[in-house]
Amino acid sequence: MKSFKLTLIAIAVALSGSAFGQTLEELAEIVRRAASEEAQINEEREAEFLRERNNQRNLLTQAQREKAAEEARSDRLKAEYDRLERELAELETVLQERMGNLGELFGIVRQASGDIQASLDDSMVSSQYPGRGEFLSELAQRKELPTVPELRQVWERMMTEIAQSGQVVKYTAPVERANGEKQELEVVRVGVFNAISNGAFLDWDTSKSDENLIELARQPAARFQGMASDLQSAAPGEVVDMSVDFSRGQILRAVVQTKSPIERVQEDGGIVGYVIIGVGLLGLLLCLWKAFVLYTTSGKIRKQLKNETANKANPLGRVMAVYADNPDSDIETLELKLDEAILRETAPLESGLAFIKVLYVVAPLLGLLGTVVGMIATFQMITLFGTGDPRMMAGGISTALVTTVLGLVVAIPLTLLHSFLQGKSKALIQLLEEQAAGIIARMAERS
């Protein structure tokens, strides 16, 4: 294409030259030169093409050699990989065989570490030796086999707990008082069962992040607190009596949660409970007043029995005064007047007993009313929340039971007191009737 362009250029030049008066020889010379240049250019192109062709053959040969080398290397690597895979499988088989017993031991160690940690965290000994369970917690979560020193540490923790469970130790530890204040106090620990400070029983609380000893808000009976004070003030080696909570604090926690009788009445009795208590107090005061009146009257009547002169300051004297005031009356008239006098004395002796009877009848009825109120509250809770949580129904049931107990507690003593006072009153009335009958009998003898 390039030589063709040159020929066209030469012809164009020749034509232009002829236009300017050049000769044909000059034009032929130009054409020859152009042909010569064109041949030279073709030769150069052919030579360049041959060089490029040879170069491409060399590159192809080199690429083929490199491909063959990489294929050979790939074969070697594949063979090496297969060999290593076989060796790895063999080594894993050997490892599993050798780790059979160790793996079982590792699982047991992890489980035992977790169990021991939970036991140590719940133990009061941790108040004296804090942080004992951290190592066991880390060991229970580890994925590597434990070392022999670490296994010895686990054994040491167990032996320390067993040894401390049989010792009475005095030490200083942080204690949370009942008012919420934390203080460093002297603590006496009785094995893993009880801890005391300043004569008060302590509880080991593990529910908070900062585990510490807590003074119980409500302490056991005074005699147990006295034992605690004696133990804390005892000299080394001295033997003193001490109560031990073998449940490791469960009984003491139940003491804290248990309501006293007064608290039960205040919280569960409600209005009905207070009404029953009011009825009981009123009945008790009335019984005491009536007992005082009857015994006072009985004493006056005994004195009158020893004296034949009528004293109108007592019922028997007033009955005898009827005979003294009517010495000339016939037997029938005197008998009627004595009966009238006895009736007058009977009313004061029996006054109040009927009201006491009403009170001891009303008391259990009020208890029944409280029972009904409590059961209504219970069924309301069942309607609102269902029966999934029994604690939601405990308030109504407690109200029902407490009011029932209060009604019976009031009714039973009032019934007994009423029976006793009524018997005492009847005895005095019978004594008056006997004396009146004696007076009539003496008059009949005289007639």
SS3 (DSSP) at 258: coil
Is the pLDDT higher at 13 or at 432? 432
Q: How confident is the model at residue 362 (pLDDT cuts 50, 70, 90)?
A: very high
Q: How far apart are CA 447 and CA 445, in angstroms?
A: 5
Taking the C-alpha atoms of residue 264 and residue 366, their distance in angstroms, rounded to an integer, is 17
Select the more confidently predicted residue: 2 or 59: 59
What per-residue confidence (pLDDT) applies to 99? 66
Instruction: Say if residue 258's pLDDT is above 60.
Output: yes
Task: Report angle CA 428, 433, 434 to the nearest 5 degrees.
Answer: 95
Q: Give dist(CA 355, CA 351) in Å, integer.
A: 8
At 210, the pLDDT band (50, 70, 90 cuts) reads: low
d(C-alpha 399, C-alpha 367), whole Å: 10
Report the chain's terminal Cα–Cα distance, integer Å. Answer: 191
Q: Which pLDDT score, from 0 to 100, does residue 21 have?
A: 45
Q: If DSSP codes are grouped into helix, strand and coil, which group holds residue 206?
A: coil
Domain limits of the chain?
2-91, 109-165, 169-257, 262-446
Q: Which amino acid is at 167?
A: Q
Strand duo 212-215 + 168-176: pairing: parallel
Residue-level pLDDT at 260: 66
Q: Does pLDDT of 292 surpass 60?
A: yes
Extract the tokens encoding 306: 């020893």
Helix %, strand %, coil % of the chain (to 5): 75, 5, 20
Tens-place pLDDT, residues 129-141: 887 878 888 888 8
Residue 21 has, within 13 A of its CA and on its CB side, a CA count of: 0
Give the bridge partners for 171, in sequence order: 187
Question: Residue 177 pLDDT > 70, yes or no?
Answer: yes
Confidence band (pLDDT; 50, 70, 90) for 282? very high
Name the nearest CA neighbour of 353 among 288, 399, 287: 287
* Residue pLDDT, tens place only, 78-125: 999 999 999 999 988 887 777 666 667 777 878 888 888 888 888 888
Contact 129, 156 (CB under 8 A): no
> What is the pLDDT averaged over residues 268-272?
81
Q: What is the pLDDT of residue 412?
A: 94
Q: Return d(Cα 427, Cα 132) in angstroms, integer.
A: 78
Band the pLDDT of 284: cuts 50, 70, 90: very high
Identity of residue 169: V
Greater pLDDT, 288 or 241: 288
- 243 within 8 A of 227, measured Cβ to Cβ: yes
Model confidence at 17, pLDDT cuts 50, 70, 90, reads very low
Task: Tell me whether strands 182-190 and 212-215 are parallel, antiparallel or unpaired.
Answer: unpaired
**pLDDT attached to residue 140:** 83
**Sign of the Cα pseudo-torsion (430, 431, 432, 436, in order):** positive
Q: What average pLDDT does the segment 351-375 reach?
A: 89
Return the pLDDT at 4.
45
Would you place residue 228 in the very low, low, confident or very high pLDDT band (cuts 50, 70, 90)? confident
Q: 186: which strand partners?
A: 172
Strand, helix or coil at 253? helix
Block residue for tokens 């009955």: 319
Exposure class string for 45-70: b at 16+ Cβ within 10 A, else e:
eeeeeeeeeeeeeeeeeeeeeeeeee
Residue 352, phi-psi category: left (phi > 0), alpha (psi -120 to 50), beta (remainder) = left
Q: SS3 for 15-31, per residue?
A: HHHHHCCCCHHHHHHHH
Highest mean pLDDT of the ranges 93-97, 299-303, 384-388, 392-396: 299-303
Quote the percentage of the chain above a pLDDT of 70.
Answer: 87
Return the pLDDT at 391.
67
